[in-house]
């Protein structure tokens, strides 16, 4: 302004490459070759693998063959179990999405296209490792063989809902399966996972923790504090970022993706950072296994960016056609995680199209049966199923006078109103 | 013992009894805390039980919640209550709701210690009394001691409690009770009976108020530093006031409050925190609800003004003897 001969400043506001109606072309997408990235020893110094934060660990090539040093060389049973968990997760999503559309519940969120990021990780972790998920890791519970009828009970807030109708659908809590209570507040589980891991280390335990958040959520302050604490105390924790490109309507550029990768966030904290093909179940498995071994051997935390694509709307309340091109999902260069693993196991000769089709039917029937079972205990639509008294319980360990008073008042008011 | 020594002793005694208790916070480890409340604890219990943290309140509380979920009993310190706000999300959205939202599967038995209150020329960010923010949160307990004996007993009770507790320490009275006469030297705690603190384990139950002084004409509800200010003004003015130290704000000892106001017919609420939506508003409403037919005058609130805490205007801001004396006149008028 004061006579300096400079052009006016301009504010950069990121814009995604494709909007509704645009023709999608991922020709510019730099597709890293499967098997090309080295596999460092688990005690590697974070500084020595900085390049890996910008590369991409991929195992499965276009033909579904496992390539390179990250191939976890899994037993056929494990491969088929992972495939089935992913298929079951997808079938579960399909059916519960429809249940919301039918008015049986208020809300649902799918993880379509991201099944490998949770199922692959769950298989590489020990069952007693503690998971701190976000709302899009239903695959963890399913891979841990948690009864899906219990998940549906929660979604329906019905009589059998262990969370007593207090939580929005999909905000599961399953202590028995080492699956931490999901919060609606993004990224709060990140420092909690670090704290759990610190406690495990302080106690000389052997269990580790793992946390998940979306790439959009990495912009929260909790992400920064979690990484700082994880690095400072070398906490035995795996910090997963599911980069599915979208945070509701905001593309990953609003979380900083235009400038760098999410795995590269690790570098500034001195944490090991890996970037993996999130649609490659074997790459997810291998990276998680590496990070888990590293954590378990006191070499500290690892941040893993899972590069994937949110194939469906953000939730049942969202219409993605309003902000992104409908072509994007179909043209996503990293494909579909289930199709890719299927091709792999068929190539190995341990699977075929017939068995796959039969499995798809079987998991669909399984979900249908579980849904029927859950509906015996009620759905949200036909009214509250939990006792009213329970609304005031568990605020504190013991109910203080003011909650007793309010509970009594509620009953009195309802009685007076004749309900 | 003074307040600091009593708090230190409480943590020491609790840690000695329960290996799950850990202390974390900025400067609490090797250095023993900026107010020395954790002095010697790291040496005694080791670095994995008493440790320094990065300067990140959201991290301190977030990590404490995670440690609690594992099965530990963290006692995080927030260096000044004025700096608790970065941790609000973890306290309000997580610690407070964990038991409820998980149907009792998980809980967060953490005790957040934090020095609070003014009267020390701490200006805007070393003087605040944010208790009203926490009493408004379902699932949190809020505790405020006013003397060394209570500080130790309440702190041990808070640490043993299975709910998250915000434990506010009135830093103005760490070394001796402050009567509001800022121009007079403060007497050390050693001259007062409440400094007789047992070395061993004892508790003061949460949710129980203490009648500091019995009286018939007016009930004064106070906590923290204001207990002492109110006490001295009562003595100076000769009002026959019943002074109640609430000690725990949530859950409140409603019985003691109601019994007193029904006896006296008048009530005055005193706190340092700003007036609008402060805890005094809750107290005043509760008294009105429970004692309407017994009240002979409107409930008086003597509080900090609705401004940020000013540095040089400290003694015009602080609800001291001048303001309390005037309030007594008003409440006794009708
Ligand atoms: C603290 C907080 N802010 C905002 C929201 C609302 N919200 C819910 S999900 C979401 C997007 C998260 O995107 P991302 O982290 O990329 O995860 P994704 O949904 O893609 O799995 C937002 C903004 C919230 N739940 N919590």
B9-27 pLDDT, tens digit each:
999 999 999 999 999 999 9
> Taking all residues of chain A, what is their mean pLDDT, rounded to a whole number?
97
pLDDT at A1 over 60: no
Whether A244 lines ligand 1, by a CB cut-off of 6 Å, is yes
pLDDT at A404 over 70: yes
A337-347 pLDDT, tens digit each:
999 999 999 99
The ligand 1 atom nearest the CA atom of A135: 21
Residue B76 Cα, gap to closest chain A Cα (Å): 12
B29-55 pLDDT, tens digit each:
999 999 999 999 999 999 999 999 999
Report, as an integer, the average pLDDT of A287-305.
98
**Is A178 part of the contact surface with chain B (CB cutoff 8 Å)?**
no
**Interface-testing mutation among A200, A233, A394, A397, with chain B (most B C-beta atoms within 10 A):** A394
A252-279 pLDDT, tens digit each:
999 999 999 999 999 999 999 999 999 9
Neighbours of B187 (CB within 10 A): 13
Phi and psi at B252, nearest 5°, equal -80, 145
Q: Please judge whether B72 and A202 are an interchain contact, meaning their C-beta atoms are less than 8 angstroms apart.
A: yes
pLDDT at A2: 64
Q: Would you place residue A381 in the very low, low, confident or very high pLDDT band (cuts 50, 70, 90)?
A: confident
Q: Would you place residue A376 in the very low, low, confident or very high pLDDT band (cuts 50, 70, 90)?
A: very high
Q: What percent of chain B has pLDDT over 70?
A: 100
Q: Give me B253's structure tokens.
A: 């000892």
Q: Would you place residue A382 in the very low, low, confident or very high pLDDT band (cuts 50, 70, 90)?
A: confident
Chain B residue whose CA is closest to A227: B59
Residues from chain A that touch B138, judged by Cβ atoms under 8 A, are 395
Q: H-helix or E-strand containing A209?
A: strand A209-214
Chain B residue whose CA is closest to A231: B54
pLDDT at A389: 84
B126 noted as active-site residue: yes
pLDDT at A385 over 90: no
Q: Give me A70's structure tokens.
A: 């990250």
pLDDT at A4: 84
**How far is it, in rounded angstroms, from Cα A310 to Cα A249?**
11
More confident residue, A381 or A189: A189
pLDDT at B236: 96
CA–centroid distance, A247 to ligand 1, in Å, is 6
**How far is it, in rounded angstroms, from Cα B55 to Cα A170?**
34
Residues from chain A that touch B254, judged by Cβ atoms under 8 A, are 401-402
CA–centroid distance, A182 to ligand 1, in Å, is 13
Chain A residue whose CA is closest to B49: A202
Q: Give me A279's structure tokens.
A: 């649609």
Q: Would you place residue A386 in the very low, low, confident or very high pLDDT band (cuts 50, 70, 90)?
A: confident
Contacts of A58 by beta carbon, 8 Å cutoff, 6+ apart:
A32, A33, A34, A35, A36, A37, A67, A68, A70, A276, A277, A280, A283
ipTM surpasses 0.90: yes
Residues from chain B that touch A201, judged by Cβ atoms under 8 A, are 48
pLDDT at B24: 98
Calculate the CA dihedral of residues B177, B183, B184, B186 and round it to 10 degrees. Answer: 30
Question: Which residues of chain B are under the pLDDT cut of 50?
Answer: none
Whether A112 lines ligand 1, by a CB cut-off of 6 Å, is no
Q: Please judge whether A228 and B56 are an interchain contact, meaning their C-beta atoms are less than 8 angstroms apart.
A: yes
A185 φ/ψ sector (left φ>0, alpha ψ -120 to 50, else beta): beta
Strand, helix or coil at B32? Answer: coil
Phi and psi at A50, nearest 5°, equal -55, -40
Answer whether B33's CB lies under 8 Å from A186's CB: no
CA–centroid distance, A216 to ligand 1, in Å, is 7
Measuring from atom 15 of ligand 1, which residue has the nearest CA?
A214
A112-146 pLDDT, tens digit each:
999 999 999 999 999 999 999 999 999 999 999 99
A84-97 pLDDT, tens digit each:
999 999 999 999 99
**Interface-testing mutation among B66, B68, B134, with chain A (most A C-beta atoms within 10 A):** B66
> Taking all residues of chain B, what is their mean pLDDT, rounded to a whole number?
97
Q: Please judge whether A185 and B67 are an interchain contact, meaning their C-beta atoms are less than 8 angstroms apart.
A: no
Residues from chain A that touch B69, judged by Cβ atoms under 8 A, are 130, 180, 192, 195-196
pTM over 0.80: yes
Whether A214 lines ligand 1, by a CB cut-off of 6 Å, is yes
CA–centroid distance, A226 to ligand 1, in Å, is 17
Report, as an integer, the average pLDDT of A372-378.
96
Judge residue B191's burial from the number of C-beta atoms within 10 Å of its C-beta, 0-12 exposed, 13-18 middle, 19 or more buried.
exposed
Strand, helix or coil at B269? Answer: strand
Q: Give me B33's structure tokens.
A: 């805390």
Q: H-helix or E-strand containing B249?
A: strand B248-250
Q: Give me A282's structure tokens.
A: 């074997």
């Amino acid at each position: 302004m004061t006579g300096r001969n400079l052009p006016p400043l301009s504010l950069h506001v990121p814009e995604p490459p494709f909007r509704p109606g645009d023709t999608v072309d991922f020709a510019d997408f730099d597709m890293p070759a499967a098997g090309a990235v080295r596999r460092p020893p688990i005690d590697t110094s974070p500084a020595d693998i900085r390049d890996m934060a910008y590369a991409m660990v991929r195992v499965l090539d276009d033909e579904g063959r496992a390539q390179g040093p990250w191939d976890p060389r899994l037993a056929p049973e494990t491969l088929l179990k992972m495939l089935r968990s992913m298929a079951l997760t997808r079938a579960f999503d399909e059916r519960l999405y429809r249940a919301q559309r039918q008015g049986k519940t208020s809300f649902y969120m799918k993880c379509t296209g991201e099944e490998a990021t949770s199922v692959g990780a769950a298989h590489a972790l020990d069952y007693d490792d503690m998971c701190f998920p976000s709302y899009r890791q239903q695959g963890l519970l399913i891979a841990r063989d948690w009864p899906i009828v219990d998940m549906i009970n929660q979604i329906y807030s019905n009589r059998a809902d262990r969370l007593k109708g207090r939580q929005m659908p999909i905000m599961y809590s399953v202590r028995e399966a080492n699956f931490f209570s999901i919060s609606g507040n993004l990224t709060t589980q990140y420092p909690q996972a670090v704290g759990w891991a610190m406690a495990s280390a302080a106690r000389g335990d052997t269990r580790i923790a793992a946390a998940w958040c979306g790439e959009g959520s990495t912009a929260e302050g909790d992400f920064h504090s979690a990484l700082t604490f994880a690095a400072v105390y070398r906490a035995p924790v795996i910090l997963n970022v599911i980069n599915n490109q979208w945070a509701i309507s905001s593309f990953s550029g609003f979380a900083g993706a235009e400038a760098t990768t999410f795995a590269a966030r690790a570098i500034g904290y001195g944490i090991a950072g890996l970037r993996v093909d999130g649609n490659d179940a074997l790459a997810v498995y291998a990276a998680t296994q590496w990070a888990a071994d590293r954590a378990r051997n006191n070499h500290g935390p690892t941040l893993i960016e899972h590069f994937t694509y949110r194939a469906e709307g953000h939730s049942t309340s969202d219409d993605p056609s309003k902000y992104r091109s409908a072509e994007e999902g179909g043209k996503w260069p990293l494909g579909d995680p289930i199709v890719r693993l299927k091709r792999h196991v068929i190539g190995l000769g341990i699977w075929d199209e017939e068995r796959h089709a039969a499995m798809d039917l079987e998991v669909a029937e399984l979900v249908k049966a579980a849904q029927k079972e859950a509906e015996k205990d009620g759905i949200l639509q036909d009214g509250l199923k939990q006792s009213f008294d329970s609304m005031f319980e568990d605020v504190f360990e013991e109910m203080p006078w003011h909650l007793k008073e309010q509970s009594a008042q509620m009953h009195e008011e309802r009685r007076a109103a004749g309900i | 013992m003074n307040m600091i020594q009593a708090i230190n002793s409480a943590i020491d005694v609790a840690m000695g009894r329960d290996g799950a208790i850990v202390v974390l916070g900025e400067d609490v480890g090797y250095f023993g805390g900026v107010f020395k409340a954790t002095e010697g604890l790291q040496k005694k219990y080791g670095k994995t039980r008493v440790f320094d943290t990065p300067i990140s309140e959201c991290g301190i509380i977030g990590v404490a919640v995670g440690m609690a979920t594992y099965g530990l009993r963290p006692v995080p310190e927030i260096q000044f209550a004025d700096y608790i706000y970065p941790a609000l999300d973890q306290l309000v959205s997580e610690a407070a709701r964990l038991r409820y939202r998980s149907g009792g599967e998980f809980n967060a038995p953490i005790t957040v210690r934090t020095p609070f209150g003014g009267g020390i020329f701490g200006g805007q960010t070393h003087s605040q009394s944010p208790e009203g923010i926490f009493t408004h949160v379902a699932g949190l307990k809020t505790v405020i001691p006013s003397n060394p004996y209570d500080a130790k007993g309440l702190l041990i009770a808070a640490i043993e409690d299975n709910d998250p507790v915000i434990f506010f320490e009135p830093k103005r009275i760490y070394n001796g009770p402050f009567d509001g006469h800022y121009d007079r030297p403060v007497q050390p705690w050693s001259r007062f009976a409440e400094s007789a603190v047992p070395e061993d384990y004892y508790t003061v139950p949460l949710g129980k108020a203490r009648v500091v002084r019995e009286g018939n004409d007016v009930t004064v509800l106070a906590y923290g530093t204001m207990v002492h200010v109110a006490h001295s003004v009562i003595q100076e003015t000769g009002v026959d006031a019943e002074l109640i130290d609430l000690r725990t704000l949530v859950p409140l000892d409603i019985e003691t409050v109601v019994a007193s106001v029904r006896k006296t017919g008048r009530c005055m609420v005193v706190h340092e925190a700003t007036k609008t939506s402060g805890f005094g508003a809750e107290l005043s409403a509760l008294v009105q609800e429970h004692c309407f037919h017994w009240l002979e005058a409107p409930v008086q609130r003597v509080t900090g003004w609705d401004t940020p805490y000013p540095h040089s205007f400290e003694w015009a801001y602080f609800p001291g003897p001048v303001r309390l004396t005037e309030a007594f006149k008003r409440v006794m008028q009708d």
